A and B are shown apart, each in its own frame.
Chain A
């Protein structure tokens, strides 16, 4: 586990918002959704996930509502708000630009002098 990359600040927010663009989910669903797509490369602690969820809810980028799961359990479901979608759109573009830049720099072949 030691070689799993650090999660950059703000990245988790984007992942959560991305997950919620598909449908509303509860916390565990979001966690599993990200795990599946990260193929075990990113381990996100649940405490971090929930802090992100609460933070996003406070900023009214997502909204929460108690609901019932397929297994008849009570769970808090999150959905993305229009403001959340706009935020994701904006941040996604700048994140991708940033990642490209970093990748391009790291991909340069350099020779030791």
Chain B
């Protein structure tokens, strides 16, 4: 008798669990009948025999039930064992198939790795930016930041989230739609002093901030309401996990220690959990109570409506819509408002997602990341189309083998399963390799393009792994389905008869469709890349009126003076600092690596200062969309140092100083606005009602704080002649050319020089001025880089795809082409015949791609910089490029086709 395993393998007499019941009944019935027959043979009457047989059996209904249950369970288990056996066999077969063609396998796995890896990397980024929200925040979807919108004359609707403590007090405990309200802010500060000083991000929060977010401290505790009362705020501090590890060695004895922040003593009460950054995606090194921060902002910080520095977050009550909460909060805010801004009396409040920026919009890097995710998906589609094409070609080449298998009795379902197993295996290998791509690429994007976001340790976490697995499964189904469908439709006798020579129109039609798809998607990506590259070039080509890339800014964090200090004290310190900057400038100008240097109050990207002016003969100073008039007080060599061109008159000289004649240099906009068609030189401008300052020069407009800012009036006064502005920085023009190149080397030298002059200085910030613009340029850089990389990959993959289709077609038709040659066809005609096929596919793809790009143009437009999203130059260039690549991919197989040997074709007949 055959062992059961063999029988199962041959699918002989296999029972499924529903058969188990009838089997059991048959067996019991047979048993009883035979027992009766045996008893009758021993001389019992049929009736006696039947009674005895039943007695011998025992509890028949109960036993029947129990036996059937056992049988059912057994069959179920067997069927599981069987299907895993089959799966193992299918995979084993697939492995053997792939081993037999290592080149093909490698190509497919690498292509998969790129497609899946790019998606995994982008998912890791989107996950942090969009999906998961800030670390350690419970139910971030119910948290919302409070924004207010006011109609501002000349500027339109202004939306912002910066409010005062008084607004927080007004909302706290008074909005029933909210479970709670908290306020937070952040700024730069110095930890320690002198050479040990460290620049840190200081976070300020009301005590209810931490319970509102639902965060638990890693060590010790967060500060509590008693420590955060206006008027009696306690100097307590909660360290970030990272700072605790790096600065305090992760020692738990740090609790209770006193540390110096901005020259003030604070007691450490706790350590925040790892990667906790509040509700923003920005690093925070330590947290102090808002009531300690307040007095540094304004003497009446807790009651004034004039100081607006903090942001308010609320937790929406479960099931409450943000609009409802906003309405309630607006009413509450307006009834409490006692300020003098008429616009605020008509302000509208709104609650928006905490992922939004201070203006209530989606931050540009998030928008770009969202687009890049789309791009990654498109890339994966191209990759899948290409691999499906390769697998299809393989399936066709194996058409005969498959036909033989079908003829031998393998079910179609089994063939489909084999092909799918192959696809799954390839996708799984690709996913593993893709994780390496994701790790490397993810880190690269994080560091190079999105450095401000506090990322976790690794680009690969459990969620990325899960995503990768899902992406691999979907890809496998996508690429496996096409050849599997093909196989299931295979014409059996045709396949057996035709051998290697077939290759019908229908099948190559499917492959052409895949090629057209690839070309279309590549066109879309390349157009995106082109638009972003042009944006970036427009950004780089901007004339800033100041040579941002050639300047270093030295920003010294001075020890804070206590708020209670007397006026005398302030004056003494101010005079001391002025002297310090004079001496420091002299010293720095003497350094061999420094070409020029100047001191300025009011530096681009370091906070603008604006003052009221009046001009004799002009009734009112016109308001400009860019605000202002802005003011800077600068030392004599400033314009030469900054690279701002003097258009008329002169810049400042050493002779322009405190006590000398009051002079002023104005920018072009100011000259044109105040004195159109007149000579501005010699005019009088009064700053804050002080005596006339004579205009001695006109300079070009210079960048203030943003890439794309409306023009504004700006004037410069000599350092020492300024009124009521302070906060000096030193601008340095190094000899090395690009400031970023020598920033590091020069920074150490400068720090030691300055600390030598005054060892009590706080942190000394030395950065290229360009850094201020970096964050603004980043979205375009991100877009140009990623679209460029993905577009290039897509182009290569699509070119390979086209090549493989054409080459395969030529190989399939070599017989037909040979016959044509034999019949006297011109070689040139044959080249054209094949070339045309590739061109048609490419042209169709390009046309579809351009159409898609045209339709998505309005959505992409806000992300571009001074480039129309339907820029004809970019569209044209992409079309030409793709066509050229298509010719390149087609010409080789076309030439090969033209060399088809007529003799071989005829002999084969």
B58 at the interface (CB under 8 A from A): yes
The interface residues of chain A lying within 8 Å CB-to-CB of B23 are 76
How far, in Å, is A70 (CB) from chain B's closest CB?
11
Choose one: B4, B13, B35, B74; the contact of A28 (CB below 8 Å). Answer: B35
B62 at the interface (CB under 8 A from A): yes
For B73, the closest partner residue in chain A by CB is A58
Choose one: B13, B34, B57; the contact of A66 (CB below 8 Å). Answer: B13
The interface residues of chain B lying within 8 Å CB-to-CB of A71 are 34, 37
In the assembled complex, the Cα of A54 lies from the Cα of B62 at a distance in Å of 15
Q: Which of A54, A58, A66, A69 has the most CB of B within 10 A?
A: A54
Asked whether A27 lies within 8 Å of B27 as measured between CB atoms, the reply is yes
How far, in Å, is B783 (CB) from chain A's closest CB?
63
A87 at the interface (CB under 8 A from B): no
- Which of A8-16, A40-48, A90-98, A99-107 lines the interface with chain B? A40-48
Asked whether B1 lies within 8 Å of A73 as measured between CB atoms, the reply is no
Which residues of A51-70 have CB atoms within 8 Å of chain B's CB atoms?
51, 54-55, 57-58, 63, 65-66, 69
In the assembled complex, the Cα of A76 lies from the Cα of B29 at a distance in Å of 11
Given known contacts A27-B31, A73-B34, is B1 in contact with A79 (CB within 8 Å)? yes
Asked whether B59 lies within 8 Å of A47 as measured between CB atoms, the reply is yes
The interface residues of chain B lying within 8 Å CB-to-CB of A48 are 58
Asked whether A54 lies within 8 Å of B67 as measured between CB atoms, the reply is yes
Which residues of B51-84 have CB atoms within 8 Å of chain A's CB atoms?
56-60, 62-63, 66-67, 70-71, 73-74
How far, in Å, is A53 (CB) from chain B's closest CB?
9
In the assembled complex, the Cα of A86 lies from the Cα of B34 at a distance in Å of 32
In the assembled complex, the Cα of A46 lies from the Cα of B13 at a distance in Å of 26
The interface residues of chain B lying within 8 Å CB-to-CB of A50 are 27-28, 31, 63, 67
The interface residues of chain B lying within 8 Å CB-to-CB of A77 are 1
Which residues of B13-60 have CB atoms within 8 Å of chain A's CB atoms?
13, 23, 26-28, 30-31, 33-35, 37-38, 56-60
How far, in Å, is A26 (CB) from chain B's closest CB?
8
Given known contacts A28-B38, A66-B13, A79-B1, is B30 in contact with A47 (CB within 8 Å)? no
In the assembled complex, the Cα of A79 lies from the Cα of B1 at a distance in Å of 9
The interface residues of chain B lying within 8 Å CB-to-CB of A57 are 74
Asked whether B74 lies within 8 Å of A24 as measured between CB atoms, the reply is no
A residues contacting the other copy or chain, number (CB 8 A): 27
Choose one: A24, A47, A74; the contact of B1 (CB below 8 Å). Answer: A24
In the assembled complex, the Cα of A75 lies from the Cα of B29 at a distance in Å of 10
Asked whether B4 lies within 8 Å of A45 as measured between CB atoms, the reply is no
The interface residues of chain A lying within 8 Å CB-to-CB of B34 are 28, 69, 71, 73, 75
For A79, the closest partner residue in chain B by CB is B1
B103 at the interface (CB under 8 A from A): no
Given known contacts A73-B30, A75-B30, is B70 in contact with A55 (CB within 8 Å)? yes
The interface residues of chain A lying within 8 Å CB-to-CB of B28 are 50
B3 at the interface (CB under 8 A from A): yes
How far, in Å, is A60 (CB) from chain B's closest CB?
8
Asked whether A47 lies within 8 Å of B31 as measured between CB atoms, the reply is no
For A67, the closest partner residue in chain B by CB is B1
How far, in Å, is B114 (CB) from chain A's closest CB?
48
Choose one: B3, B35, B73; the contact of A63 (CB below 8 Å). Answer: B3
In the assembled complex, the Cα of A50 lies from the Cα of B71 at a distance in Å of 11
How far, in Å, is B50 (CB) from chain A's closest CB?
14
Choose one: A24, A27, A47, A75; the contact of B60 (CB below 8 Å). Answer: A47
Choose one: B26, B56, B67, B74; the contact of A45 (CB below 8 Å). Answer: B56
Choose one: A28, A54, A65; the contact of B31 (CB below 8 Å). Answer: A28
The interface residues of chain A lying within 8 Å CB-to-CB of B74 are 54, 57-58
In the assembled complex, the Cα of A32 lies from the Cα of B71 at a distance in Å of 24
Choose one: B7, B33, B59, B67; the contact of A73 (CB below 8 Å). Answer: B33
For A35, the closest partner residue in chain B by CB is B56
How far, in Å, is B76 (CB) from chain A's closest CB?
11
Asked whether B66 lies within 8 Å of A74 as measured between CB atoms, the reply is no
In the assembled complex, the Cα of A69 lies from the Cα of B7 at a distance in Å of 21
Which residues of B582-596 have CB atoms within 8 Å of chain A's CB atoms?
none
In the assembled complex, the Cα of A106 lies from the Cα of B874 at a distance in Å of 104
Given known contacts A63-B3, A63-B4, A66-B13, is B73 in contact with A47 (CB within 8 Å)? no
In the assembled complex, the Cα of A75 lies from the Cα of B67 at a distance in Å of 16
Asked whether A46 lies within 8 Å of B1 as measured between CB atoms, the reply is no
How far, in Å, is A81 (CB) from chain B's closest CB?
8
In the assembled complex, the Cα of A75 lies from the Cα of B71 at a distance in Å of 16
The interface residues of chain A lying within 8 Å CB-to-CB of B63 are 47, 50-51
In the assembled complex, the Cα of A32 lies from the Cα of B53 at a distance in Å of 13
The interface residues of chain B lying within 8 Å CB-to-CB of A74 are 26, 30
For B1, the closest partner residue in chain A by CB is A65
Choose one: A28, A46, A73, A76; the contact of B58 (CB below 8 Å). Answer: A46
In the assembled complex, the Cα of A24 lies from the Cα of B37 at a distance in Å of 21
Choose one: A24, A46, A69, A79; the contact of B56 (CB below 8 Å). Answer: A46
In the assembled complex, the Cα of A58 lies from the Cα of B72 at a distance in Å of 10
Given known contacts A57-B74, A63-B3, is B31 in contact with A46 (CB within 8 Å)? yes
Choose one: B26, B27, B35, B67; the contact of A51 (CB below 8 Å). Answer: B67
In the assembled complex, the Cα of A48 lies from the Cα of B60 at a distance in Å of 10
In the assembled complex, the Cα of A30 lies from the Cα of B66 at a distance in Å of 20
How far, in Å, is A37 (CB) from chain B's closest CB?
17
Asked whether B4 lies within 8 Å of A51 as measured between CB atoms, the reply is no
Given known contacts A28-B35, A58-B70, A66-B13, is B27 in contact with A47 (CB within 8 Å)? no
Q: Which 5 A-B pairs have the closest CB atoms?
A: A47-B63, A45-B58, A47-B58, A46-B57, A54-B70
Extra A-B contacts (14), CB below 8 Å, given A32-B38, A51-B67: A28-B38, A45-B56, A46-B31, A46-B35, A50-B27, A54-B67, A54-B71, A55-B70, A58-B70, A63-B4, A65-B1, A71-B37, A74-B30, A79-B1
14 A-B contact pairs sorted by A residue (CB < 8 Å): A27-B27, A27-B31, A28-B31, A31-B56, A45-B58, A46-B31, A47-B62, A50-B27, A50-B28, A51-B63, A54-B70, A71-B37, A73-B30, A76-B30
